[in-house]
Amino acid sequence: MKYFIAIFYLLGFSSFNFSYGQVRGYIRGVRLTDTIPLNGVKVKLLRSKKAVFTNANGKFEIFPGRQSPDTLVASLSGYISDTLIIQQQDRFSALSFVLFSDKLKPEVIVQRKANNGMVKLSIVQLERIGFSELRRAACCNLSESFETNASIDVNLTDAVSGAKKIHLLGLDGIYTQFQLENVPFLRGLEASSGLQSFSGIWLDGIQISKGTGSVVNGHESMAGLINLSLKSPLESDRLLLNAYGNRFGRAEANAMVSHKFNDQWGTSVLLNGSFNKTNIDENHDGFLDLPLYQNISAMNRWQYNGRRMEAQFAIYGYSDHRFGGQSPNSPLLFPFHMEFANRHLELTAKTGFFGKREGESLGIIQQLKSHNAQGYFGGNALGGQRKIFGNEKRYVISLIYERSSEDGVHQVKSGIASNFLAIDQTVDTHVLNRSEISTGVFTEYALKLNRLSCQTGVRWDYHSLFGAIFIPRMHLKYALTPKTDLRATCGKGWRSPNYLMENNALMASNKYWIIPDKLLPEISWNFGGSIATEWQLFNRKLTYTTDLYYTWFERQLILDRDVSDQFIVLSFMDRSSSSLAFQSEFEGSFSKQFSFRGAYKYVLVTGVLNGVRQQQTMVPMHRILVTASWVSLNKRWQADLTGNFVGPMRMPNGYQVSGNSDSYSPWYPYVFGQVAYQINKIRVYLGVENLLNFKQPNPIIFANDPQNPGFDATMVWGPIPGINVYAGITYNLKTKKR
């Protein structure tokens, strides 16, 4: 093992970095009440001494130097010049800022805010959740970081473990590829526990793309891709401390400590601790409404930015232990309990050299990961205990070559990626152990013209168990007007399912499993498009986005809960399932202090269940999101209010929702808000969740008799705990200017 780790780091130091690329953006000018694109603005980087001019649409593209940060200066006669600090993370990003007429009042202050919402210059539909958006809710862990976002749904998997999963385009989160700064993340066994073990306080931003995405990122983005970004160790604040507590007894503490040794070397240490030791049973069914748990996670990151070389290394790990079910002092002889423990450790490396030519780079990403999970559902061995065990060892390496033309119009990426996996899974009496190797070669070409942009890629993967799989993907963007963009996408994706551990929450019932006798890949095609437009109303910016995506499965592992109330069937089916997702979103502001967002989403997921093609269970068809935010003139006070209105879900056959004559859950509201006060280095926040105190009645079937064959704690369609009040405090110590 020690030789394996040594090779891992030697390869890292001898590789090349792929993050070198152009910075693009739009510049608009403000004169009185008009905001117009500015032509001929000189955009100059002071450190690298490079300069370009904007075109008639206010667009510019410029290659940054090899050292970061740099200062970008935009100047035009008749306007007040403006500057931006360009960091390494701004490469490949879309910047948008304005120049103010020199005839305006001198007290006008120009501020650049973190860009939330759609990223205009991206060829694929890319949505960004910035740091300011993340602070609108507590966001203690990753699963709580999507609460103000309409694209991502976060749901409980059962009423015992407290585990959560996401949905994108109506599809389970296993069909969404996660990355942590372009490195694979939440993959394999950690998919069921990683959402709640990664601290949301560590995040600097989240990027969400719908559809199949780029072949460079891999083959698993069947519904979309979520990339998490952290602050660079060379650019982070020296110290960030956060403490949180709520009325249910949950307590959290987070810390980020960064040190910059010089302009080239920096490091960050990220720590997180969370626990809940309080028994809560407000619905008096004998089961804990929230699990008891303790979670500890830590990360250490190192970054080197040299003249000819860049390198990033990180070690990340966590330990998570949960206990749920009936109260520990239950009088039953064999009470129903859940106990689960996850331990995770991973090493990552991104290192390299810049090419001699402008816009050329070559790099390697590596990851070495170990994950162990074990636990049980049920009573003791005599009372029907169902054990769960999983162990995973994984090594990933990818080589990427990139070259762009000097004007940024043409871009080519090519490379090779390999994945080495050994994974063991045991759920109840079912065992699924395997070792696999998959290698993929890919190439992608991007054309970026004034109004039309196209990205086309192909990938060929060879899997040791499944053979060869070919993946084509294409993305188009057309600027219908300077403020209206059309996007279209189509592509193929596939994944190797770990269906025992991915569905282990279904052990919170007494139903037996019927599983397939052979492992097959899941394969899907995704087609979609979007339109995004913006306009000015009373000198305030308004944006509207609508998108439609259709996912068709060439093969999918279907979870059938309709066939019987005694067992669950998992089976591979060909050409029998699909997802249709429509979303419309409107965002704007009434003033500098007040902003709002409204969104509606419709999802129809169908498959062959109990021999009939019908709507999939446990997926809401409708969702309405409304958010409002207010900031005081002195920027010290901020108040946010968000309302989620979740539509009906079809429940499995035989399940009757209280008060309903059919098997559909009712509409329900989930409203939360937060007030924050900032003074100097300290920020204090107070919030409330589930403000209307809506709770799902009787979330556990036969809660008074867990040995009954009909016992089931997996029919969760709404909140279980009632209203929650929380408070927290953050201390932030900025980095000293040199």
10 pLDDT tier (thresholds 50, 70, 90): very low
Contacts of 616 (CB under 8 A, 6+ apart): 577, 605, 606, 607, 609, 650
**Mean pLDDT of all residues in 430-457:** 94
* Unique residue bearing structure tokens 């080589």: 399
The pairing of strands 224-230 and 239-246 is unpaired
Cα–Cα nearest to 580, from 556, 552, 618: 552
**pLDDT value of residue 565:** 86
Is-contact 64 23, C-beta < 8 A? yes
Q: Where are the alpha helices (H) located in 425-538, listed in sequence order? A: 499-502
Query: In 3-state terms, what secondary structure has residue 13?
Result: helix
| Alpha-carbon gap, residue 268 to 10, rounded angstroms | 22
Intra-chain end-to-end CA distance of the chain, in Å: 43
What's the CA gap between 125 and 488, in Å, rounded? 9
- Residues with Cβ within 8 Å of 119's Cβ and at least 6 positions away in sequence, in order, are 93, 94, 126, 127, 128, 207
pLDDT at 540 over 90: no
CATH 2.60.40.4130 residue ranges for the chain:
4-112
Share of the chain above pLDDT 90, in %: 65
Question: Which CATH class for the 4-112 domain?
Answer: mainly beta
> Which range, of 84-98, 193-207, 513-527, averages the lowest pLDDT?
84-98
Asked whether the predicted pLDDT for residue 737 surpasses 70, the reply is: no
pLDDT at 12 over 50: no
Amino acid at 323: F
pLDDT tens digits, one per residue of 650-674:
999 888 776 555 689 999 999 999 9
pLDDT at 122 (0 to 100):
76
Residue whose entry in the numeric block shows the structure tokens 């209280």: 658
pLDDT of residue 684: 97
- Distance CA(145)–CA(143), nearest Å, equals 6
Say yes or no to pLDDT of 109 above 50: no
Q: How many CB atoms lie within 10 A of CB 307?
A: 10
94-100 and 23-31 beta bridge pairing? parallel
The pLDDT tens digits of the residues spanning 306-325 come to 777 789 999 999 999 999 99
DSSP H helices, 301-390, are none
Mean of pLDDT values over 388-400: 97
**Is 581 in contact with 169 (CB distance < 8 Å)?**
yes
Amino acid type, 486: L
Q: What is the mean pLDDT of residues 50-68?
A: 78
- Decide if pLDDT at 9 tops 50: no
pLDDT at 232: 85
Residues in the chain: 738
Output b/e per residue, 157-193; b: 16+ Cβ within 10 A. Answer: bbbbbbbbbbbbbbbbbbbbbbbbbbbbbbbbbbbbb
pLDDT of 113 strictly over 60: no
Decide the pairing of beta strands 540-560 and 567-589.
antiparallel
Q: Looking at residues 505-509, what average pLDDT do you find?
A: 93
Per-residue confidence band for 116, with pLDDT thresholds at 50, 70 and 90? low
Q: How many helices (H) and strands (E) does the chain have?
A: 3, 41
pLDDT at 691 over 60: yes
pLDDT of residue 475: 97
- Give residue for tokens 């409404």: 289
CA distance 555 to 552: 9
Q: What is the mean pLDDT of residues 380-389?
A: 76
Q: Are the C-beta atoms of residues 463 and 434 closer than 8 Å to each other? A: no
Least confident of 95-104, 617-626, 641-650, 675-684: 95-104
CB atoms within 10 A of CB 453: 21
CB distance 282 to 699 below 8 Å: no
Distances in Å between the alpha carbon of 534 and those of 35, 597, 736? 12, 14, 38
On the 0-12 / 13-18 / 19+ scale of CB atoms within 10 A, 96 is middle
Residue 105 per-residue DSSP state:
-
pLDDT of 423 higher than 80: yes
Q: What pLDDT, on the 0 to 100 scale, is given for residue 119?
A: 59
**CA–CA separation, 419 vs 437, rounded Å?**
6
Please tell me what DSSP assigns to residue 670. E
How far apart (Å, rounded) are the C-alpha atoms in residues 160 and 713? Answer: 7
Provide the token pair at 681.
Answer: 């280095």
> Which DSSP string corresponds to 591-632?
SSSEEEEEEEEEEEEEEEETTEEEEPTT-BSEEEEEEEEEE-
Q: Is the pLDDT of residue 236 over 90?
A: no
Tokens in use for 320?
Answer: 């998570």
- Identify the band that residue 3 occupies on the pLDDT scale cut at 50, 70 and 90: very low
**What is the chain's alpha carbon radius of gyration, rounded to the nearest angstrom?**
26
Asked if residue 10 lies in contact with residue 3, where contact means CB atoms within 8 angstroms, the answer is no
C-alpha 207/C-alpha 191 separation (Å) is 18
For residue 443, the cross-strand partners are: 414, 458
Residue-wise burial string across 566-590, b where 16 or more C-beta atoms lie within 10 A, e elsewhere: eebbbebeeeebbbbbebbbebbee
Least confident of 58-72, 363-377, 497-511: 58-72
Q: What is the pLDDT of residue 591?
A: 86
Helix segments in 439-561, DSSP class H: 499-502
Enter the tokens of residue 649.
């879900």
> Using CA atoms in the order 208, 211, 213, 217, what is the torsion angle rounded to 10 degrees?
80
- Whether a cis peptide bond, with omega within 30° of 0, leads into 69 is yes
Average pLDDT in the 215-225 region? 96
pLDDT (tens digit per residue) in 474-495: 999 998 988 899 999 999 999 9
Higher-pLDDT residue of 453 and 95 is 453
The per-residue pLDDT for 623 is 98
pLDDT of 472 reads: 98
Higher pLDDT, 541 or 457: 457
Query: What pLDDT sits at residue 246?
Result: 96
Query: How many other β-carbons are positioned within 10 Å of the β-carbon of residue 624?
Result: 16
**C-beta of residue 558 within 8 angstroms of C-beta of residue 578:** no
- By mean pLDDT, which of 28-37, 248-257, 616-625 is the weakest? 28-37
The larger pLDDT score, comparing residue 79 to residue 508, is at 508
Q: How confident is the model at residue 110 (pLDDT cuts 50, 70, 90)?
A: very low
Q: How confident is the model at residue 21 (pLDDT cuts 50, 70, 90)?
A: low
Q: What's the confidence (pLDDT) of residue 2?
A: 46
**CATH class as words, domain 121-733:** mainly beta
How far apart CA 373 and CA 193 sit, in angstroms, is 9
- CB contact set of 655 (below 8 Å; sequence gap of 6+): 663, 701, 715
CA distance 319 to 273: 10
Each residue's pLDDT tens digit, 336-384: 999 999 999 999 999 877 777 777 888 899 999 999 999 999 876 555 7
**Residues of each domain in the chain carrying CATH 2.40.170.20:** 121-733
Residue 148 has pLDDT above 50, yes or no: yes
**pLDDT score recorded for residue 62:** 83
The yes-or-no verdict on residue 502 having pLDDT over 90 is yes
Report the C-alpha gap between 67 and 259 in whole angstroms: 18
Q: Which residue type sits at 111?
A: Q
For 412-556, where are the alpha helices, taking DSSP H only? 499-502
Q: What is the mean pLDDT of the chain?
A: 88
Are 419 and 396 in contact by the 8 Å Cβ rule? The answer is: yes
From residue 192, alpha-carbon distances to 165, 195, 710 in Å are 7, 7, 25
For the full predicted model, state whether its pTM sits above 0.75: yes
- Is 327's pLDDT higher than 70? yes
